[in-house]
Amino acid sequence: MADPRELMQRYQAGDAEAFRELYALVAPKMLGYLSKLTKSRAAADDLLQQTFLKIHRARAAYVLGADPLPWFYSIAHRTFIDEARRLQRAVVRSAGDDVPEVPAGITGESADRTDEPRADPELAKAALEALSGLPTQQREAVVLTKLEGKSVAEAAVIAGTTVGAMKVRAHRGYEALRRLLGRKPPTDQVEKPDNKAERVAR
């Protein structure tokens, strides 16, 4: 597999073939990411093109030798947010930095419950449908940390927020999924945010 760093360096230097290779390498993943955020393939296609246009215009700002993928995801994320705000769909909330991360899967189950059977396809489908009903920031957090496999720190960079804020969004997203799926987390396995952080995050 081609190295994104090498392709980006060649692209930055004006190699059109390198851009085509880079696009073929990363566009499918980014399209999937945007599709999960927008819930619309057509909208995701449009945002993907906007994203690569921005990447092209900003390519001189790329730091040689750095992994370009987080940068690409960050631009894609900001493009989604800008479009959502333009359509008056986004809700901006502030959050605290001292809320513990609660590991969980897409179905809302605690990640440490590995001894239990995995969710069946119907449950996974229901989870994805429930995901589409989450507030924008919570949906982004769950998509980034669970569907895209990003760490909380990586997700925070992509979303342009703090690690603490991302933890709050992800935690609330997991809890909302549990409620939507009719599941309750074991009280002895889920650490709740403290009252101070909860007040700040509201």
Domain spans of the chain?
4-86, 121-201
User: With 0-12 CB in 10 A as exposed, 13-18 as middle and 19+ as buried, what is 174?
Assistant: buried
Whole-number pLDDT of residue 128: 65
Task: Give the mean pLDDT per block of 10 residues along the chain (202 residues).
Answer: 88 92 93 88 93 91 86 89 71 46 46 44 64 80 81 83 88 84 54 44 43
Whole-number pLDDT of residue 158: 82
Nearest to 48 by CA among 20, 21, 24, 79: 79
CA atoms within 13 A on the CB side of 147: 25
Whole-number pLDDT of residue 139: 83
Whole-number pLDDT of residue 99: 46
With 0.75 as the threshold, say if the pTM is over it: no
As separate numbers, helices (DSSP H) first and strands (DSSP E) second, the chain gives 9, 0
Whole-number pLDDT of residue 147: 74
For 4-86, give the CATH class.
mainly alpha
171 within 8 A of 193, measured Cβ to Cβ? yes
Whole-number pLDDT of residue 183: 60
Distance (Å, whole) CA 63 – CA 9? 9
Amino acid sitting at position 1: M
Whole-number pLDDT of residue 178: 81
Whole-number pLDDT of residue 124: 58
Max CA pair span of the chain: 57
The CATH number corresponding to 121-201 among 3.40.50.10490, 1.10.10.10, 3.40.50.10420, 1.10.760.10 equals 1.10.10.10
